[in-house]
Amino acid sequence: MPAPQVNGDVAHTSAFVEHLVSYPVINDSVEAFKANPYGQRSIEVSTSVYQKFAAPAVPYLARPFEIVKPYVKAADDLGDRLLCIVDEKFPAVKTPTSDLIDGARALVSLPITIGSAGKEHVISTYSAEYKKCDNNNRITTVTKAGVTTTLVLTAETITFLSNYLGSKKDDVKQVANDRANN
């Protein structure tokens, strides 16, 4: 596709910039900047400065630009190829911004979620143990329920750790055997 012409001047496009703006996060950021009143004002000021100072100098820079044009093109192609490698290695860069925000929110709220699930487990274990105790003496019932809840949770923790470390022990043995055989 040929570059668009404005007043006879060919607008130069950059494969690197186009590729970069194709990322949803970058594109959404640019759009948010354009929609923001401060961003709009910044763009207006930049355009005005360009029109007053840089545009009159462009004809004088045409010859030097022709000299460096192959190097600029090579750098642009290199940047585009590097972004292609980034696309392959990190496919998350193509993920829509809303999905990234949802994932970040879930990750940030993970400790709260796990903590509340743990709290609910402790409360349900305590209430189950409380119901098992005789309700003749309140102090004795609360104490028995507290102690048995502690023992049940300790047993669950030890079982979990035993299962986790047992699987890791098997993995370490496998790695040790593999290294011994090689």
Write out pLDDT tens, residues 30-81: 999 999 999 999 999 999 999 999 889 888 888 888 999 999 999 999 999 9
- Is the predicted pLDDT of residue 116 greater than 90, yes or no? yes
pLDDT of 19 reads 94
pLDDT of 67 reads 92
pLDDT of 12 reads 67
pLDDT averaged over the chain? Answer: 89
Pairwise CA distance, residues 118 & 111, whole Å: 10
- Is the predicted pLDDT of residue 99 greater than 70, yes or no? yes
